Structure 1
Amino acid sequence: MEPLEVHSDNGAIRSTIWNCDGIRLGHAVSRATGERPSRPPGPGPDVVRLHFGLRGNYSFTYRQLDRTFDLIGGHHNLMYSREFNIEVTPHSPELETFGVQFPRDKFIQFTTGASDALQRFAESVLEGKNILFSEHWGAIDPGMEQVIRQIIHCSYGGDLKRLFLLSKSIELLVLSADACSAPPEPVFLKTRSDKERIIAARDFVNERVDNPPNLSEIARTVGLNEYKLKRGFKETFRTTVFGYLSEQRLQLAFEHLRNSEKTAAEISAELGYASPQHFNNAFKKKFGRTPQSVRNNP
C-alpha cells in the first residue's frame, strides 16, 4: 500500500492504511506548522481502537470521554466509543502514530476467554459504554515497536499478507493489554522534562544503531546523569539501554537480510558488531535461526 500525503493549513500528514478481514491498520507521520488544535478524522463507527503514539508530544481532548490527555511519544492504550470525536494539539514539530481498529463484533470474538481485564473491557464495549482500557497509558516496549515496524515494512502479498496482518494485529492487542494490565510500579521519573529526555535518548539510540553510542555519550546528549538515564529508560521501556539497542540492531539486521542483497558479513560490519561470529550468535539467540537461513528462506 502506497502512503498518501495530505497538506493543510496546519501542516502535512503522510499516512498508510492496510485492511484485512475488516480490521483497519494505519500508520501516520504528521508535520505541524505550530501548536494549533485540529480535528483529525476519526475511525469508522463502532470500532475498538488500539492506539500507539510512537514519536512526538501532543495533547488531545476526547469528547465522548469528556477528558483531555497530555502525552509524550512512546505510549499506547485501547479505547471505545460509538462515535469518536477528538481535538489534537501538537507540542512537537513531528508526530508519528500507529493504530489498529477492530470492528466491535470481531473484537468481542477475539477477547472471548481472554484475560479478566480484557473481558471486563469487552463487556463494557458490548454495553455501548464509552471507555478507556486503562487509566495508565502503557509505554511502547521493544516487542511492540518490533511488531509495528514489521507491519510497516511488510513485503508479503496476497493471502499471506492478509494472514500476516491479522496475526500481527492480534499480537499487538495481546501485548498492549498485558502491559496496561500490569500493576503500576513506583514512579521514578517525576517531571515531564525528564520523561521527554528519556524519549530523546531512545530516539538518539535509534539514529545511531549502526554506530552505537555509549552510555555517557547518550546521557551527555540528552542532559541526564547516567543513573537517571538508566533508571528512567528501564521504567519507560521495560528494558535497559543496551537491551533496547541490541533489539533494534537485530531487527534491522533481519530486515536487511530479507529486503537487500547485503551479505551477513556486510550487515554485521555496518551495524557495528565486533565480528561476523558475534553477530551470528546474537542473531540465532534472538530468532532461533541463522542469518543465512533467513536469506535462503525469508
Structure 2
Amino acid sequence: MRTIIRSSEFKEQAIIKEFPENFAADHGFSETVYQTNLEGYTGDTREILLNGICIEHRNIHHENALQLEVHHDFPFFKMHFELKGFSGYASKSKGSRDVTIFDGCHQLFYFPEVKGRLQYAAQQRFTLEIKLTRSFLEKMMGPELAPLGAFGKGLQDNQPVLIGGRSLPIQPAMRNVIYEILHCPYRDMLKKVYLEAKVTELLLMQLAQLEAHREEAPRSVLKSGDAERIRHVKELIEENIQEPCSLIELASRAGLNDFKLKKGFKEMFGNTVFGYMNHVRMEKARLMLLEGRQSIADISFVVGYKNPQHFTAAFKKHFGYLPSDLKC
C-alpha cells in the first residue's frame, strides 16, 4: 500500500509513503510521530496503526498556498475532519468525485482509486484523518456492509461514494470524541481497544449526519470571493471571544451585507453566526476547565461573560452538565 505525493515546490520532487498491508501493526498497535520540514511546509503528523485503521493527526503550517499531486494505489475509505484549515481535492480519475472540506467541517468518502490534485490554503492546519480498510468495516458491520447504506453499496460495487455533496460542520458531540481520540488515557492494548471503539462511534456520527443532509441543498447565495470573506468572519469570531463582535460589525469588516453573511455562513458551516460564536466560547471554556488551572469565575470572564452565573447557565444549556462537573 503506497502513497506518492509530488510537488514542484519540493526539492525531492516526490515523497513516497509505504503502509503495511491492511494497516497492520506488530501486536495490533503502533504509534509514530513524523516531522515535516520542507520548503514552506512544516509541522508534524502523529500516525497510529490498528490493523485495519490508520489514524493521522496533522499539525502543519503552510506559508503559502500549496498544490500537491497525489496517488494512492489502494482503495480509500476516509473520515476527514478539518479542525482548522481548508483542503480541496480535484480528481483525475474517471467517474470519481472532487472533495472540498472547509474549516471546522468534515467529510466521509470512498474512492477505489485516488489520483488527483490536493490544494491547501496558506495557514496553520489541524486535521484528524482516519483511513479504514474493508476488513475492519466487515468486522464492525458484517460481510454485507448493509448498515453502511450507500457507502456499503459503493464498497461492494467498487464505485466512488461521497455523501452530502459538501462538507458539513463538526458537531459538538463529534469534537468530544475527537478530543478523546487525541488524548487517549490508555496505553498498549487498552489503547487499541479504546481507539477502535471511538473510531466506530465517530463513523456512526458521520453517517447519521451525512444521511440527514442527502437532500438537495438550497441554491447558494455566495458569489466569487464571498467564501474567503466568510472564512475571515469565522476567524474574527475565534479571535474575539472575550469581546464578541456584533453581526453588523462582522459584516462590515468582511465587506458583506448582513443578509449574505447570515445565509452564507449557515451554508458554509452549517451553523448561524451567533450559534458558532457560542460554540467557540463554550469549547474554549470546556478546555480551560479540563486544564484545571483557573476558577470558573475567571474562565467565564475569558470567554466573554461578566456574570459567572450567566456563564454557568449557558454552559449547562450547551453541554447538558455544569462547569463544576469538570472541576471535580
TM-score normalised by length of structure 1? 0.81
Query: Aligned equivalents of 1:2 and 1:155: distance in 2?
Result: 15
Query: Structure 1 residue 16: deviation in Å?
Result: 2.4
Q: 1:92 aligns with which of 116, 122, 134?
A: 122
Query: Structure 1 residue 91: deviation in Å?
Result: 4.4
Structure 1 residues 35, 231: CA separation in 2 closer, same or farther (over 3 Å shift)? closer
Q: 2:255 aligns with which of 213, 223, 228?
A: 223
Q: Secondary structure at the match of 1:7?
A: strand
Query: Structure 1 residue 125: deviation in Å?
Result: 0.9
Query: Structure 1 residue 155: deviation in Å?
Result: 5.5
Map 1:112-123 onto structure 2 (within 5 A). Answer: 118-123=148-153
Aligned partner of 1:71 in structure 2 is 100
Aligned partner of 1:208 in structure 2 is 240
| Superposed CA offset, 1:159-203 (max 9, x none) | 665555334423432333333332133123332421222222122
The answer on whether the counterparts of 2:141 and 2:147 sit within 8 Å (CA) in structure 1 is no
Map 1:1-298 onto structure 2 (within 5 A). Answer: 4-9=34-39, 11-20=41-50, 22-35=52-65, 37-39=67-69, 42=72, 45-65=74-94, 69=98, 71=100, 73-74=102-103, 75-111=105-141, 118-127=148-157, 129-134=158-163, 136-143=165-172, 146-147=175-176, 150-151=179-180, 154=183, 156-158=185-187, 161-162=191-192, 164-181=194-211, 182=213, 183-296=215-328
Structure 1 residues 288, 72: CA separation in 2 closer, same or farther (over 3 Å shift)? closer
Greater relative CO, 1 or 2 (CA 8 Å, sep 6+): 1
Q: Secondary structure at the match of 1:38?
A: strand
- What is the root-mean-square deviation of aligned Cα atoms in Å? 3.4
Deviates more, 1:48-57 or 1:160-169: 160-169
Deviates more, 1:145-154 or 1:195-204: 145-154
Q: Secondary structure at the match of 2:67?
A: coil
| Superposed CA offset, 1:42-65 (max 9, x none) | 5x8445111234444554333445
Of all paired residues, the percent bearing the same amino acid is: 23
Query: Structure 1 residue 276: deviation in Å?
Result: 1.3
Deviates more, 1:112-121 or 1:145-154: 112-121
Structure 1 residues 152, 288: CA separation in 2 closer, same or farther (over 3 Å shift)? same
> Aligned residues, how many?
294
Deviates more, 1:5-14 or 1:86-95: 86-95
| Superposed CA offset, 1:212-241 (max 9, x none) | 222122212222111211122222222221
Residue 38 of structure 2 aligns with an amino acid whose one-letter code is: S
Query: Aligned equivalents of 1:148 and 1:223: distance in 2?
Result: 36
Query: Structure 1 residue 66: deviation in Å?
Result: 5.9
Query: Structure 1 residue 280: deviation in Å?
Result: 1.5
Structure 1 residues 201, 142: CA separation in 2 closer, same or farther (over 3 Å shift)? farther
Residue 119 of structure 2 aligns with an amino acid whose one-letter code is: T
TM-score normalised by length of structure 2? 0.74
Unaligned runs of 5+ in 1: none
Query: Structure 1 residue 6: deviation in Å?
Result: 0.6
Query: Aligned equivalents of 2:174 and 2:183: distance in 1?
Result: 14
Structure 1 residues 160, 236: CA separation in 2 closer, same or farther (over 3 Å shift)? farther
Unaligned runs of 5+ in 2: 1-30
